[in-house]
Structure 1
Amino acid sequence: MSNPYKEIFQVPGAKGFAAAGFFARLPFAMAPIGIIAMLSQTRGEYWLAGAVSATFALTNALVSPQISRLVDRLGQRAVVAPATLVSVIAFAILIIAARQGWPAWTLFVAAFLSAVMPSMPAMVRARWTEIFRGRPELNTAFAFESAADELVYIAGASLSVGLAVSLFPEAGMVVSTASLALGTIAFLLQRSTEPKVRVSGSEGRQRSAIWLRPVQIITAALIFVGATFATAEVSAVAITKELGQPEAASIVIGVYAIGSFLVGLAIGALNLSMPLQRQLLIAVTVLALTALPLLVAGSSVALLASAVFLSGVAISPTFITAFGLIERRVPESMLTEGVTWVMTGIGIGMALGAFVSGLVVDSFGPTNGFWVSVAASLITVLIVALGQTILGGERLPSDEAPVTQAAE
């Protein structure tokens, strides 16, 4: 039996841009927690550390789709290179400001400017789409990327905190910034796999991809999927602390991502004939069902880890099918922006899920935090179920994409 992952990497240039993209996306996991680890040690104020980190995360969530929209119109190298340069310089200023004790406002300005960091997961997926557009291998490529995202979240956050604690406060951010700079340079030097710029008939008047109904439905669904992901992390930390084993939190969170990672790889090796919108509905339904055991898993670390592992099995299949639908339903001239909106939805959901579950844990106890996961996953099922007809439609041609009225 042939190995589908081996086959996709036989394409010239695939190994290079995939490896470079992996390192270039590490800051997505390392930077937010790295900022907190750095500033909590150098300034001793957790509220300031959290506020600066939130400034970066929320600004990036709003700005990255606009960066990707420019990429669709001008090309990856023309936009990603200057945006990354600004981000790297701003991260460097943030590191220096933290170390030298500069005024707090400089931290916020640096965090704000560093948020122009491009969405590298979207750039990598755009290259896979350029190679395998309309072919079953694209599903395998998206599965690999979802697995890579899981590895980034597993390793990135732990690496960032570990470096800051064991070496010096800024160590995690230094490595994160270096990964962004070197990984992006290596990625952009590979011109042979760079997607072609596809100019639509309404160029100059074309509106954002978020106005497309499929993008709205999938982004809304992934907001609540992201909320379930963040809730599991917050609740795991709270429950293990209550059980007197706070060090077990990292193990439980790792098990959650490993479950998603393994199932994602397995799904990517299959060539399913079922329509993608049906696959997405099944995946989010499994997500909702596997969230239920979490409600009774707070009595021991072993039981918690088992329940969390089970609840993670549907995460990667959900991401894989969601990105596959974006590729099929969004005009080619808007693909990178469409993928980035979905990534933004995940990030917003994680931020909201962490906030809401934190309030629930503080008010009603650690085990009740998982009610947020149950509620969020049920809402996801409802959104995807109601959107089946739209998600199952045909791709909207570029010249029929939403446009603004031309100036008279």
Structure 2
Amino acid sequence: MPAALRRYRDLLRTPGVGRVAVPSVIGRLPTGMLTLLFVLVVAAGTGSYGAAGLATAANSALTAVVGPVLGRLADRGRAVGVLVWCGLAQAALLVGLVLALRAGGSAWLAVVLAGLAGAVNPPIDPVTRAVLPRIAPKHVHMAYALDAIAVELTYVVGPAVVGLITALADAYVATLVAAVVTAAGAIGLATAAPVRRGWPAPPAPGRRRVSPVRSAGMLVVLAVAGLASVAYGLMEVAIPAHAAVEGHADEAGLLIAVWSAGSIAGGLWYAGRTFRTPPWRQYGILMLGNVAGFGVILLQQNLWTLAVLLLFAGLFVAPTTTLEFTLVAQLTPDESRAEAFTWANTAVYLGFAAGSALAGTALEPVLGTPHGLTVAGACAVGVVAAGAAVAWAARGTLRPAGATTG
């Protein structure tokens, strides 16, 4: 572990890294808040959980669809403007959503405002992942590992912040806080010197700008990440449902947090290691680890054993995410990297939404029974196994140009 700590220290001491990392973490905190907030404020304002679900879906869908466009604009030298205007626009739309609901606005107005907020979601993730290798070229692996861990922390800290604010005030106030944090993080990142000076990255001599989704390897990463996200979407519905069946619905958040804690531990370990196996070969291996992680969940006997098994299952999540970031960076030219990372986000958003929808439709009759988690877990294992098969069978397409075949 001391070696890993030294690597993190060296990364964080690299000029510009802290200035990018801090606003990036702050700006992404609302990502872990908004799903819960949309459910709370829209249901409170309209009296309909159906409207709350539609608002959440509209937000995720438009984030997935518009994200690559924002990433492409960032790559074309407009990263600063996109971050600033999207941060301010999303903040304004969240404030507008609160005002509309407090004034008795319709459910459809809430859905539209939530969807528009997704359409202008600041591209903080892709800009961060595109700029870090430029300012810390010797610590790329550590940078992506740190970013993967930051993503996990977002989904732990975000809901906790919502819970604290709603306990002291209400969900409307929590939404206004999310609006302020979104704007502050986006503007903070936009004003960082590495971002202001980092674009546009010119294409290599003799090469035109090419969409990253024209890369066969990139399409494999998108497919595998999407399939894995279907499993996560399934389980994030099935676990709370199972906790409710066991009579401990209030412990669902703790179970999800334990899952994330395992992921953080796995990410810290993975980043501190040096592997001889190249990333394009590691992907299939780590996906097999995820199959095992989801598989052990089927062995749960009660909530205590489920928590222990989720801790183990989480060990493979952040390492896989770190590796996906690395592969995306290796498979796409520098001048298209922000767009490439937005496509990766799109695959994750759509996969997660598909998994949640599957849990809420086809699996809804069984999720309220003692065997619901087992059925959902078996479906998740199957989906992740399909992703592992794709990663393993198509591993040759993940090899960067010029890499050896060993």
Tell me the TM-score normalised to structure 1 length: 0.91
Shift of 1:320: 0.6
Q: Deviations over 1:44-85 (max 9, x none)?
A: 110011111211111011111110011001242132222222
Looking at structure 1, the residues matched to 282 and 204 of structure 2 have their Cα atoms a distance apart, in angstroms, of: 33
The equivalent residue for 1:92 is: 95
Task: Select the residue among 350, 353, 362 that pairs with 1:351.
Answer: 353
Asked if residue 15 in structure 1 is aligned to residue 22 in structure 2, the reply is no
- Matched residue type, 1:369: A
Report SS of the residue matched to 1:170. helix
Q: Which runs of 5+ in 1 are unaligned?
A: 397-408
Looking at structure 1, the residues matched to 259 and 239 of structure 2 have their Cα atoms a distance apart, in angstroms, of: 10
Q: Is the 8 A contact 2:210 2:336 kept in 1?
A: no
The residue correspondences of 1:147-166 to structure 2 (distance < 5 A) are 147-164=149-166, 166=168
The equivalent residue for 1:77 is: 80
Task: Select the residue among 245, 248, 263 that pairs with 2:248.
Answer: 245
Report SS of the residue matched to 1:296. coil
The residue correspondences of 1:1-400 to structure 2 (distance < 5 A) are 1-2=2-3, 3-115=6-118, 116-133=120-137, 135=138, 137-164=139-166, 166-192=168-194, 194=196, 195-200=198-203, 206=209, 208-297=211-300, 299-364=301-366, 365=369, 366-367=372-373, 368-394=375-401
Q: Is the 8 A contact 1:358 1:369 kept in 2?
A: no
Shift of 1:140: 0.6
Looking at structure 1, the residues matched to 174 and 61 of structure 2 have their Cα atoms a distance apart, in angstroms, of: 20
Q: Is the 8 A contact 2:43 2:52 kept in 1?
A: yes
Shift of 1:344: 1.7
Looking at structure 2, the residues matched to 172 and 395 of structure 1 have their Cα atoms a distance apart, in angstroms, of: 50
Aligned length: 393
Looking at structure 2, the residues matched to 120 and 233 of structure 1 have their Cα atoms a distance apart, in angstroms, of: 24
Q: Is the 8 A contact 1:287 1:311 kept in 2?
A: yes
Q: Deviations over 1:239-267 (max 9, x none)?
A: 11111111121111111010011110111
Shift of 1:193: 5.0
Q: Which runs of 5+ in 2 are unaligned?
A: none
Which has the larger displacement, 199-208 or 278-287?
A: 199-208
User: For residues 92 and 359 of structure 1, do their structure 2 counterparts lie closer, same or farther at Cα, with a shift above 3 Å needed?
Assistant: same
User: For residues 333 and 84 of structure 1, do their structure 2 counterparts lie closer, same or farther at Cα, with a shift above 3 Å needed?
Assistant: same
Looking at structure 2, the residues matched to 278 and 203 of structure 1 have their Cα atoms a distance apart, in angstroms, of: 31
Tell me the TM-score normalised to structure 2 length: 0.91
Shift of 1:295: 1.6
Looking at structure 2, the residues matched to 82 and 328 of structure 1 have their Cα atoms a distance apart, in angstroms, of: 30
Shift of 1:339: 1.1
